[in-house]
Amino acid sequence: MKAHRASRTVTSLVFLIAAVSLCVLACNSTKGISNSQPWSVRMTESVMQRCPEPWMVDFREKPKWEYTEGLTLLAILKVWQATGDKRYFQYANAYYDQFIDDDGKIMTYDLEEYNIDKINPGKPLFRLYQETGIEKYKKATFLLRSQMKTHPRVSEGGFWHKKIYPHQMWVDGLYMASPFLAQFAKTFDEPELFDDVAIQIILMEKHARDEKTGLLYHGWDESRQQRWANPVTGTSPNFWGRGMGWYSMAVVDVLDFLPASHPQRPAIIAILNRLATAIAKYQDKDTGSWYQILDQGGREGNYLESSASTMFVYALIKAVKHQYIPAEFKRVAQKGYDGIIKHFIKVAGDGEVSLTQTCGTAGLGGNPYRDGSYEYYVGEKIRTNDPKAVGPFILASLEFESLSGNESE
Provide mean pLDDT across the span 235-249.
98
Evaluate whether residue 264 is within a structural domain: yes
Dist CA 152 CA 162 (whole Å): 8
Nearest CA among 403, 407, 389 for reference residue 310: 389
pLDDT band at 100 (very low <50, low <70, confident <90, very high): very high
Evaluate whether residue 104 is within a structural domain: no
Evaluate whether residue 8 is within a structural domain: no
The widest CA-to-CA distance across the chain, in whole angstroms, is 65
Q: What is the pLDDT of residue 8?
A: 45
Evaluate whether residue 371 is within a structural domain: yes
Report the percent of the chain where pLDDT is more than 70: 91
Digit-coded pLDDT (tens) for 23-46: 444 444 445 899 999 999 999 999
Evaluate whether residue 233 is within a structural domain: yes
Evaluate whether residue 44 is within a structural domain: no
Dist CA 75 CA 88 (whole Å): 10
Provide mean pLDDT across the span 241-256.
98
* C-beta atoms surrounding 110 within 10 Å: 11
Q: Structural domain of residue 392, as residue ranges? A: 112-401
Digit-coded pLDDT (tens) for 332-391: 999 999 999 999 999 999 999 999 999 999 999 999 999 999 999 999 999 999 999 999
Provide mean pLDDT across the span 292-297.
98
Digit-coded pLDDT (tens) for 31-87: 589 999 999 999 999 999 999 999 999 999 999 999 999 999 999 999 999 999 999
Radius of gyration of the chain (CA): 20
Residue type, 128: L
Residue 322 burial class via C-beta count within 10 angstroms: exposed 0-12, middle 13-18, buried 19 and up = middle
Evaluate whether residue 262 is within a structural domain: yes
Q: What is the pLDDT of residue 32?
A: 80
pLDDT band at 181 (very low <50, low <70, confident <90, very high): very high
List 58, 172, 196, 295, catalytic entry: 172
> For residue 260, how many C-alpha atoms fall within 13 Å in the half-sphere facing its CB?
2
Evaluate whether residue 222 is within a structural domain: yes
Bridge partner list, 220: 169, 235
- 326-334: long-range pairs with CB below 8 Å, 24+: 329/276, 329/280, 332/276, 332/279, 332/280, 332/283, 334/400, 334/407, 334/408
The DSSP annotation for 355-382 comes to: E--EE----SBTTTTB---HHHHHHS-E
Residue 6 pLDDT > 70, yes or no? no
3-state secondary structure 193-224: HHHHHHHHHHHHHHHHECCCCCCECCEEECCC
Dist CA 98 CA 10 (whole Å): 11
Q: What is the pLDDT of residue 21?
A: 47
Provide mean pLDDT across the span 247-253.
98
With H, G, I as helix, E, B as strand and everything else as coil, classify residue 115. Answer: strand
pLDDT band at 272 (very low <50, low <70, confident <90, very high): very high
User: Does the active-site annotation cover 256?
Assistant: no
Residue 7 pLDDT > 60, yes or no? no
pLDDT band at 19 (very low <50, low <70, confident <90, very high): very low
Digit-coded pLDDT (tens) for 191-213: 999 999 999 999 999 999 999 99
Residue 404 pLDDT > 90, yes or no? no
**Cα angle vertex 242, ends 318, 250, to 5°?**
45
Domain with 189 in it: what CATH number?
1.50.10.10
Give pTM, 2 decimals: 0.92
Provide mean pLDDT across the span 167-179.
98
Q: What is the pLDDT of residue 31?
A: 58
Q: How many domains does one find in the chain?
A: 1
160 and 154 Cβ atoms separated by less than 8 Å: yes
